Structure 1
Amino acid sequence: MWKYDFEVPENKKIRLIVHTDCKNEADDQYALAHHLMTPRFDIRGIVAGHFWKNPQEYGELGTAKASYDEVLKVMDLMGLANQYPVLMGAQRGLEDETTPIPSDGAKFIVEEAMKEDTPLYIACQGAVTDVASALLLKPEIAERIVIIWIGGASYPDGGFEFNLMMDINAANVIFSSKAELWQVPMDVYKQFGVSLAELQLKVKPCGEIGKYLFEQLVQFNKKAATTFESVWPHGELWGLGDQATIAVLMEELEKVSYDMIKAPHIDKDMHYIHGQENREIRVYRTAETRLTLEDFFAKLMINFGA
């Protein structure tokens, strides 16, 4: 399928589900494409997540469907139509910390987790509603999964962060569970900065998918500048923060770029409440931005460049 002059040994591959709110903004599509082009990842399926508190033109209950349609579009432009199962997640966040939303996405996570004894990694780029629902539906999967989550504000205090805002209840479910959790907070995923000129040079020339990735980002950059009353976006820069799930899974094992801390509770203002009797989780303090971004550019050029 890919044009690499190397192979990844089977015993070095990992079983992976990609969970993405793929139409929320413009970096999600880049991360999805990168996951799909990475041969170390044995991708079992893709779950399309909601962004219901920032519905834009899709309507409060239409955001998961927008993500689902965008996943299919990216796969089609990459020549991967129908190559992987694509499931739709919940339309909104959890009502509380005990009641799951049994979406197709949550059920798929349960089924895939129980299928084999090897760990199932779940790369979460958005709200964790569907992973939390899967844990509530079948708590036994906690010992079979590794959750990588792009979300939460900086430690130790926390505060506002977009992915966490989408479902605080779900975040508390995964924080208090027994599942292995790797958290990439905002101060780390914000390290994945690029310029639009860099993307024009390295992404746009790479086939239909490269052209689409670049042009949809430019369009969203223009749209966001007139929609959101804040310093974001910056005009000529963008953050490919969702690439952080690839970064932590591609990292050299000898490098320790995270702290192990007792998982906190998260209050309604998105602050971390420490001193809980939860298990320890990984909280990343840095990430391999250069390696990850250059790996993405190289894979895009190898597979879709002229």
Structure 2
Amino acid sequence: MNSWANYQLDHAAMLQRLNHPTGKVKMILDTDAFNEVDDQFALAYTLLSPDKIDLLAVTAAPFFNWNSTSPAEGMEKSYKEIFNIYKLMDLQSPPPVYRGSAHFMTSREEPVPSEAVDTIIETALAADPDDPLYVVAIGAITNVASAIVKCPEIIRKIVVVWLGPNSYWWPTQDIFNVSQDYHASGIIYDSGVPLVVLPCHSVASHLLTSTYEIDACLRDRNKLGTYFSDLFHGRFERFGLNRPGWSKVLWDVSAIAWLLNEEWVPSVVRRTPILNPNFTYSTDDSRHFYKEAIDIDRSLVYIDMFNKLGNHST
């Protein structure tokens, strides 16, 4: 039996912990910020929502795709991109930033050491159990799972909000944030950490937007808005898709939107699935609870986000 079993909440305590927070939350954002274009939106949206979110730190997550030569380079590019967003926003006292894992987990027993892991642990242990730390992960969940393996005591001090899998009924969970690190993804489901999942397909996939909308709402409003517009155009032009009718999902924004207002992103409590090696789910009705979003109001989320981004003074 894994050591985290000693720290799991009972069913009543888990249901209580999964209630949507009513006040301001303390948060760490774990992001692969250079991977796509949506992480940058999610980071800025968080920073521009101080009435609801107290962002204590930002941690860089690894990624490996066409935009990096290795997970380590992906993490390092993400680390630098976080500071780039800070600079564009002219922030005077931005939250500290920490480098994350340089590779994915090779087993469920061996955490990948990093500044990010230590920061998650230290911040979580300092949290009041009645005022838990929200660890919002919008990339591969290596840093968070490594922190749980290294210090399972944090299970009682945190809530993980993850933009990663697809909806529970989707035929496959073979999607980027899950499949990059199977061991870490399995730990998040099995450890008993309070977990809120923002599914990619069937929920976050509603957050479509286009170069035309981004230009209308953000270009020339401020340095950040113009940067976002340029990012969007660059993404489409790279793949030859910048034409009328094409759109792009800002997946990661959904995780921030859930924290800000659950009415925008309704969710339900379910039994935690078992993640199989072929990235399908098995079910067991004796397992602990988790919460999964079932819908998102694209209009209300984007009205709030574009208003905050467009009116930010830089």
Note whether the superposition's TM-score is higher than 0.5.
yes
1:141-160 → structure 2 map (5 Å cutoff): 141-156=154-169, 157-160=171-174
**Inter-partner Cα distance in structure 1 for 2:102 and 2:274:** 24
Alignment of 1:268 onto 2:295: no
Moved more, 104-113 or 255-264: 255-264
Amino acid at match of 1:189: A
Q: Distance in 2 between matches of 1:155 and 1:33?
A: 29
Alpha-carbon contact 2:71-2:104 (below 8 Å) kept: no
Q: Does 1:197 align with 2:212?
A: yes
How much identity, in percent, do the aligned residues show? Answer: 28
Identify the residue that residue 49 of structure 1 maps to in structure 2.
61
Which moves more between the two structures, 243-252 or 217-226?
217-226
Match of 1:207 in 2: 222
TM-score if structure 2 supplies the norm length?
Answer: 0.86
2:136 corresponding residue in structure 1: 123
- Secondary structure at the residue paired with 2:203? helix
State the secondary structure of the residue aligned to 1:42.
strand
Task: Give the direction of change, closer, same or farther, for the CA distance of 1:83–1:50 in structure 2 (3 Å limit).
Answer: same
Structure 1: how far apart are the matches of 2:286 and 2:96? 37
Distance 2:203 2:43 in 1: 19
Gaps of 5+ in 2: 1-21
Q: Is the 8 A contact 1:129 1:167 kept in 2?
A: yes
What are the residue-to-residue correspondences of 1:239-258 with 2, within 5 Å? 239-252=249-262, 257-258=266-267
Which position in structure 2 is the counterpart of 1:8? none
Distance 1:234 1:100, change over 3 A: farther
Q: Per-residue CA shift, 1:164-187, capped at 9, x if unaligned?
A: 111111111111112110001122
After TM superposition, the score normalised by the length of structure 1 is 0.88
Amino acid at match of 1:241: W
2:5 paired residue number: none
Counterparts in 2 of 1:81 and 1:133: CA distance versus 1, 3 Å: farther
Counterpart of 1:27 in structure 2: which amino acid? D
Kindly provide the amino acid, as one letter, of the partner of residue 284 in structure 1.
Answer: A
- The offset of 1:224, in angstroms, is 3.6
CA distance in 2: counterparts of 1:32 and 1:85, whole angstroms: 13
The alpha carbon displacement at 1:233 in A equals 11
Q: Which residue of 1 aligns with 2:299?
A: 290
What is the CA RMSD across the aligned residues, in angstroms? 2.2
Alpha-carbon offset, residue 263 of structure 1: 1.0
In structure 1, distance between residues paired with 2:41 and 2:114:
25
Structure 2 Cα separation of the partners of residues 70 and 155 of structure 1: 32
* Separation in 1, partners of 2:278, 2:245: 29
Instruction: For 1:83-162, list aligned pairs within 5 A.
Output: 83-117=94-128, 118-156=131-169, 157-162=171-176
- For 2:177, the equivalent position in structure 1 comes to 163
